Structure 1
């Protein structure tokens, strides 16, 4: 998938922007406790409900007033730079104040960059703006915002997104079929020796 995304994104024409021309860093706090659903970064699924990641992270309910609000369509910079370090949010909720929230402007089609941010060429480009050692490496967002990106027209972004989403759906369906066939094989092997 990474190779396909890279090929689609690199073989297109567009205009060069810096990321700061495409994103606004948002620091909106949950002071009025409007949101109670805590989101966490997942590399494969983007921002998901913390309760869905099967990790019981304890926190004080009162402390969520200091959490940041993530809106549907935002990108969140998390600490796993070796995996890309950017998670797309398909839902609104709150997240740890340690995360950096990036809100795209109208030049970026909804979720267009979600696959691009997990591609190997993008992750490799982050080496210029990451600091620290091993898994604790963090992305210097201010330096990253100055990096260039070739962004195609909105119509081309939609075309690329349609292709990538179709491949993603196909892979998801094939994984389901594989699981069903494995279950069937196990069942047949178990009943064969009765």
Structure 2
């Protein structure tokens, strides 16, 4: 970033208008950016259907855009009349009038038409070359601010942006040629992000494959894949024999820990969750030592977690210490689909968020027990694989931050992309 751009950013931060810029509806923008009415940029595509066999039902989420319905987002049972679904064709946009204030607008990037809730508004760009630019512009920070400014409704939680008002927006935009050049830069960054996402998925598939093949199948005593030098059959022992439960309280001098599914524990003070608790109650919290396992409130869906450091946790949790066992070996096993869905499931009772685990029943589960040397080998292998996944996830987050920075600079005109 050159000194001229840095100076421009500093001026804007201080509320000054740099030379060649003006104050518009979206903030400070280049003087040559003219206001463009959205009715000249977008056109409505509101076709209804009740044929969910021909048009599969999709959701619109802020995180994933237009995505296939899951049980979590399935609201089909709430629809009370026919013809209540709208067709979304490839490259159509859908937005939720009530949630566009939070970024709920996205383009359908699939190859076939789908159906979404009839509550959504559907539109597409007049200029096909505008698609990538609008993917970024419609959800950027200044637009989120603008949606909140112009949304209507007597109750804040029900405020919305009607499509008729959306088409009346008249906002400063770069000329079409510059929009295309901006889109090209952001598209290149998207490809970098996509590469890291594909690599992470590849590594996760690899981990899943090895989990399925480096542990014996049900009723078997040897895995399909083994390290050289190991030939003995694996023992099967009860979980409660390999891991002993303990409950030790009165350690309020130790830091309280928070469970993060798939990541073990972190210091509660470092958690982004706004947890309020009575510090006088810490004397009743349970001690957990590093590398010990924790049976927590959501273990029925994510398996056991492992303590990354020594600390104290909620008295509602159960703590297990392994004797002559490698936690790096057992951690991926205790979080595997086989353990959660096959071995643990018979000991889960209750419904929905009221589910709990019968601890004594869990202790009776037979788990694999190879020699400690083989445990070490397998544990180190999965630990290195997890470290590689984490490394790529960090790089992915860095690239996503770069994209946000590019969006901030390019979509506001702080950095120009001129021919």
Work out whether the TM-score is over 0.5: yes
Query: Following superposition of structure 1 onto structure 2, how do residues 48-127 of structure 1 map, counting pairs within 5 Å?
Result: 48-106=266-324, 108-124=325-341, 125-127=343-345
Cα distance in 1, alignment partners of residues 393 and 288 from structure 2: 30
More helix by share: 1
Against the structure 1 CA distance between its residues 192 and 153, is the aligned structure 2 distance closer, same or farther, given a 3 Å change threshold?
A: farther
SS at match of 1:156: helix
Which structure has more relative contact order (CA 8 Å, sep 6+)? It is 1
CA distance in 2, matches of 1:2, 1:51: 33
Partner secondary structure for residue 73 of structure 1: coil
Structure 1 residue 117: Cα displacement: 1.1
Confirm whether residue 157 of structure 1 aligns to residue 375 of structure 2: yes
Bigger radius of gyration:
2
For structure 2, which runs of at least 5 residues remain unmatched after alignment? 1-206, 217-222, 227-232
Shift of 1:96: 0.6
What is the CA–CA distance in structure 1 between the aligned matches of 2:386 and 2:301, rounded to whole Å? 18
Q: 1:5 aligns with which of 205, 208, 211?
A: 211
Asked if structure 1 preserves the Cα contact closer than 8 Å seen for 2:328 and 2:380, the reply is no
Q: How many residues align?
A: 191
Instruction: Give unmatched runs, 5+ long, in structure 1.
Output: none
Mark the CA change 1:161 to 1:188 in structure 2 (over 3 Å): closer, same or farther.
same
3-state SS in 2 of match to 1:65: helix
The one of 226, 232, 247 equivalent to 1:27 is 247
Contact map agreement 1:88 1:111 (CA 8 A) in 2: no
How far is the alpha carbon of 1:114 from its aligned partner? 1.3
Q: Work out whether residues 79 and 85 of structure 1, in 8 Å CA contact, stay in contact via their aligned partners in 2.
A: no
